[in-house]
Amino acid sequence: MSNCKVIALTNQKGGVGKTTTAVNLGVTLAQQGKKVLLIDADAQANLTMSLGYHRPDDLQVTLSTIMQDIIDDKSVDVAQGILHHNEGVDLLPSNIELSGLEVRLINAISRESVLKTCISEVRKNYDYVLVDCMPSLGMLTINALAAADSVVIPTQPHYLSAKGLELLLRSVSKVRRQINPPLRIDGILMTMVMPRTNISKEITATVRNVYGQKIKVFDTQIPHSIRAVEATAEGKSIFAYDKGGKVAAAYEQFGKEVAELGEKQRKQNRADRIR
């Protein structure tokens, strides 16, 4: 599957629904028949725990193990670390060891491309690889942006979240200029939206007005719901926990938007190659 698309889900602000989006986007793409790998690139291991692996520190092989092997120039078998989840997605998990790796990356040769090397070993097996980034612009997030074809930015309709967008967009531009020229921004996803509140309406409108001409703001908005929080605590996607709920419907719609965008970009890439 050389047409695999690598998407980094990133925002330098925490608590904006990145991990919830990674899980539920992955599962809804899998439900559409796509082969999906989720990569937990955060030492807090929220994605790993959100898929039911509640003791990540007990896992023998994780993302940090594989990235360390790449740094040490050892032979690498990424498949060793991949877990097969019963909701149809694969997971390359993380644990606290990843925080130590972040420090070691600083002195590594080709330090920005270690994750890209890891993904290149397995991307032929997948239609989508989704990377859940940590809420900072450290070396691991730079690795994710260097490896990615595109970026999805989940953000809440809160003043501080919207303010942080400018900083994130500058960071993405810098990575595009210096490391990964083809990197594109697929769009901004509004999460935890309370549509009846004025602040939600105002900030969503502001984001569309300020960024909407240059960057896609996805039509789908993910509503605020305690069911999504409960699903995460249970180690399930929203589809396994509350299939008929409004959050599941929203993520299903968002998955269709992402798949349509991916298909459009694949056709464009094929046309470019023919030229």
Q: Give pLDDT, residue 159.
A: 60
Distance (Å, whole) CA 179 – CA 145? 9
Distance (Å, whole) CA 122 – CA 231? 29
Closest CA to 122 of 213, 32, 247, 38: 38
End-to-end CA, the chain: 21
In the sheet with 150-155, reading across from the earlier edge strand, the strands are 83-84, 90-92, 36-41, 128-133, 5-9, 150-155, 184-193, 217-223
Distance (Å, whole) CA 63 – CA 43? 10
Q: Give pLDDT, residue 124.
A: 94
Q: Give pLDDT, residue 1.
A: 45
User: What is each CA distance from 109 to 73, 77, 85, in whole angstroms?
Assistant: 10, 20, 33
| Both tokens assigned to 77 | 């078998």
What is the Cα gyration radius of the chain?
18
Please give the average pLDDT of every successive group of 10 residues along the chain, which has 275 residues: 86 84 96 96 94 91 94 90 95 94 85 94 95 90 95 81 77 93 94 78 78 85 90 91 93 94 81 73
Residue 31 host element (H or E): helix 18-31
User: What is each CA distance from 230 to 14, 27, 55, 151, 234, in whole angstroms?
Assistant: 18, 17, 18, 27, 6
Reported pTM: 0.92
Distance (Å, whole) CA 201 – CA 250? 17
Q: Give pLDDT, residue 250.
A: 95
Distance (Å, whole) CA 139 – CA 116? 13
Q: Which domains does the chain have, with CATH numbers?
A: 5-274 (3.40.50.300)
